[in-house]
Amino acid sequence: MNTAPPNWYPDPQDEGFLRYWNGTEWTADQVPNPAMDTTDQTRDAVPQAEKVPLFGTRAYAKRQSQELADALTENQRLQAQLASIGGLEVAELQRLRGQLAAQIIDQQTLLGSLRTQVVSTREEQVLQEIGIYEYRHPLSDAVAYRDALKHLQGEIKALARRDGGAIEASLTWTVNGSITEGRKMIREYSMLMLRAYNAEADNLVRSLKPYKLNSALERLDKISITIERLGKTMQLRVAPYFHELRRRELGMTADHLEMLARQKQAERDERDRLREERKAHEELARERAKLEQQQQQARDALTALESAHKDDTADADDLRARLEALERAITTITDQEGDIRIGHVYVISNIGAFGEGVVQIGMTRRYDPSDRIRDLSNASVPFRYDVHALFYAEDAAGIEAELHRRLAHKRVNQVNQRREFFYATPAEVRQHLQALTGQLLEFNELAEAVEYRQSLTVPRDTSQQ
């Protein structure tokens, strides 16, 4: 009866022993073969150093006990080491696991963002190949145009992408009999022409001025016509709809720039008006203080005469008349400070600066209206203004507004209504003033223009030319 354990077979070199076969080769492990009547001589023939006692032998049991003891010792050592470093409780392990999970999510998000950037970069590269670049558009900060600009630029980019329809060309062109090569050449020429067209369009947008819109549109039309003429052989041209989108972009930009210019001009005009009002108030306040001081001096003098019982003399009468005049003057200044319609209407001209047949009609609330004329005759004009009319009115603002209305068709600046220049002669203005005021005490139709006329008589030195 064979009682050999699994994988133990008679040793090929000595059948008196069993040898272990690991499935690939014989090992050095040997035990006596219980099926053989092994003699003491046979057992003595096997070197004792080569015998490895296994299975049921006392030495085998001892070795198993030793291995188990070693395993228990190693387990205790590992537990002691874990305890020596503080140990990690379940909550701490969960926290670390949560941190690792959050880091994984962050890295996955970053990876997705980088992939999106790669796609976006590729798209930008394609657009740059056809001449569409990201730059600070004049409408970028315009709230009213922001959404419309975004939609328009989206349409432009969609058509400008490869085979998007920005360029129309023949699809049957062949190169060396190959339609594929022909389409490749058409695509390359299309990209080249579209790049030139977009570069010109972007340059027009960036350098656009409101008053140059028509010339900019004409220039864009010319580049489109030129591309169509150069690509006539291949039936290549800029798509009409794409061209219309770029024209619309120019129109929107011009509208915004014009509105912006008007707004800035209105702000400058308002600052000038406030500065003029401030000067008027300061002058009126100074003049009223001076009149009040004179009034107090007259009162003191009259009181002295009354104390001396000389209030019936000519000096006392003069002081009373002076006090009445001062009171009227102070009342007038007070009324003028409180009513913005009270002031002086002026009609002036500057032949040397604007030529004949141009007048300026305005209103000032300054106490001395001549100061306003002197301010206008500053270094911004080559010659001083000539005054045709300068008169006080309680409704000066209304007279000025009515004169502007009657001469509106003769305005020099039809855009900015605060520019008070008109193509009219002083005689025409005088007729309107007489109709509005009923009486006009003084009006000078002749412009002296002394400096201008003298400058015409002075010979010019041309030796430096």
**What's the confidence (pLDDT) of residue 360?**
94
Residue 348 pLDDT > 60: yes
**What's the confidence (pLDDT) of residue 222?**
93
Confidence class of residue 457 from pLDDT cuts 50, 70 and 90? Answer: confident
How far is 452 from 455, CA to CA, in rounded Å?
Answer: 5
**What's the confidence (pLDDT) of residue 46?**
42
Residue 423 pLDDT > 90: yes
Residue 213 pLDDT > 80: yes
Q: Report the Cα 381 to chain-centroid distance in Å.
A: 37
Residue 231 pLDDT > 80: yes
How far is 165 from 190, CA to CA, in rounded Å?
Answer: 10
Per the prediction, the chain carries an average pLDDT of 78
**What's the confidence (pLDDT) of residue 253?**
85
* pTM of this structure: 0.47
95-99, 240-244, 257-261: least confidently modelled range: 95-99
**What's the confidence (pLDDT) of residue 404?**
92
**What's the confidence (pLDDT) of residue 223?**
92
- The first and second tokens of residue 250, run together, are 């120019």
CB count in 10 Å sphere of residue 226: 15
Please indicate whether residue 163 or residue 348 has the higher confidence score (pLDDT).
Answer: 348
Strand order through the sheet with 17-21 = 8-10, 17-21, 26-32
Confidence class of residue 243 from pLDDT cuts 50, 70 and 90? Answer: very high
Confidence class of residue 412 from pLDDT cuts 50, 70 and 90? Answer: very high
Closest CA to 391 of 428, 434, 354: 434
Cα radius of gyration rounded to whole Å, the chain: 53
Residue 220 pLDDT > 90: yes
Please indicate whether residue 350 or residue 17 has the higher confidence score (pLDDT).
Answer: 350
DSSP state of 395: T
Residue 221 pLDDT > 90: yes
**What's the confidence (pLDDT) of residue 247?**
92
Please indicate whether residue 449 or residue 102 has the higher confidence score (pLDDT).
Answer: 449
Report pLDDT digits (tens) over 76-134.
Answer: 676 666 565 555 555 666 677 777 777 778 777 777 766 655 544 444 554 555 445 45
Q: How many CA atoms lie within 13 A of 455 on its CB side?
A: 11
How far is 204 from 219, CA to CA, in rounded Å?
Answer: 9
Output the CA–CA distances (angstroms, integers) from residue 45 to 17, 40, 70, in the order listed: 11, 9, 34
Please say whether the beta carbons of 166 and 240 come within 8 A: no
Residue for token pair 């709809």: 241
Confidence class of residue 349 from pLDDT cuts 50, 70 and 90? Answer: very high
Report pLDDT digits (tens) over 366-401.
Answer: 888 888 888 888 888 899 999 998 888 888 888 999
For range 231-259, the mean pLDDT: 88
Please say whether the beta carbons of 351 and 452 come within 8 A: yes
Confidence class of residue 50 from pLDDT cuts 50, 70 and 90? Answer: very low
Residue 284 pLDDT > 50: yes
**What's the confidence (pLDDT) of residue 180?**
87
CB count in 10 Å sphere of residue 63: 14
**What's the confidence (pLDDT) of residue 422?**
94
> Burial level of 358, CB count in 10 A (0-12/13-18/19+)?
middle
Percentage of the chain lying above the pLDDT 70 cut: 77
